[in-house]
């Protein structure tokens, strides 16, 4: 069974970045993580989150949790900040770009989240300095969803439907990374009840289906 670590940045005494209206990065990240945790339930995966409450975990401990779990992939979730309050955008950081599957995941995730907020896709970036990327043994990525230092971004990140949309985008791209098929919300599957030589039997089955609430039942 595939193993996945979701690291929710900051927490507890470490609030992370703080928005103009005092929204904590750690709280937004936790909200995304809780949604993502629910969405991944039922998937054929072993999933561990570094935290599911407002608690402090050191950077060293986060890497140790991932390495001890022997995860296949590690994803850390963060919200960015900048001194320039006009900046917005989504970016994903990796230690290197040698893993093509991880590269595709990062680029696709940036693309999907940029569409949610209609913000700049800042793309895949590389860093040897980020502790959780440097010290995890498995392919790892760190997403900066947007810039909480921007007042509109802060507002957008306090809307529950946006939080859920971000979690869905992360979930869908993680499942693709892990080799699972995903379906979109508008995918429809037709179900055939059976085939009958007697038309009356077919009509009876259609009526039975309609009586049970399947109003679009019909004969082909």
Q: Is the pLDDT of residue 130 over 80?
A: yes
- Mean pLDDT, to the nearest integer, of 8-17? 98
* Residue in 165, 172, 177 with CA at minimum distance from that of residue 31: 165
Three-point CA angle 22, 27, 32, nearest 5°: 130
Find the helix or strand (DSSP H, E) in which 104 lies: helix 100-117
Residues contacting 123, CB < 8 A, separation 6+ = 91, 92, 107, 110
pLDDT bin (cut points 50, 70, 90) of residue 48 is very high
pLDDT bin (cut points 50, 70, 90) of residue 191 is low
Mean pLDDT of all residues in the chain?
92
Write down the pTM of the prediction.
Answer: 0.82
* Token pair listed for 51: 């935290």
- Mean pLDDT, to the nearest integer, of 144-155? 98
pLDDT at 176: 97
* Residue in 203, 219, 190, 198 with CA at minimum distance from that of residue 211: 203
pLDDT bin (cut points 50, 70, 90) of residue 213 is low
Q: How far from 189 is each of 42, 209, 214, CA to CA, in Å?
A: 20, 16, 14
Percent of the chain with pLDDT over 70: 90
pLDDT at 140: 98
Q: Which residue has the higher pLDDT, 202 or 88?
A: 88
């Amino acid at each position: 069974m595939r193993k996945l670590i979701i690291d929710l940045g900051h927490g507890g005494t470490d609030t992370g970045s703080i928005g103009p209206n005092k929204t904590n990065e750690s709280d937004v990240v936790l909200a995304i993580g809780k949604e993502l945790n629910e969405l991944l339930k039922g998937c054929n995966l072993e999933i561990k989150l570094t935290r599911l409450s407002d608690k402090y975990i050191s950077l060293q401990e986060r890497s140790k949790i991932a390495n001890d779990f022997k995860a296949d992939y590690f994803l850390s979730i963060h919200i960015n900040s900048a001194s320039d309050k006009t900046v917005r955008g989504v970016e994903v950081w990796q230690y290197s770009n040698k893993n093509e599957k991880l590269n595709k995941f990062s680029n696709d995730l940036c693309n999907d989240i940029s569409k949610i907020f209609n913000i700049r896709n800042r793309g895949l970036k590389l860093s040897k300095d980020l502790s959780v990327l440097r010290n995890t043994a498995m392919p790892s990525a760190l997403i900066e969803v947007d810039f909480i230092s921007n007042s509109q971004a802060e507002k957008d990140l306090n809307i529950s439907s946006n939080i859920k949309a971000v979690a869905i985008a992360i979930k869908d791209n993680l499942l693709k990374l892990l080799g699972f098929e995903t379906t979109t919300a508008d995918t429809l599957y037709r179900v055939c009840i059976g085939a009958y030589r007697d038309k009356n039997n077919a009509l009876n089955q259609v009526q039975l289906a309609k009586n049970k609430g399947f109003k679009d039942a019909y004969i082909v």
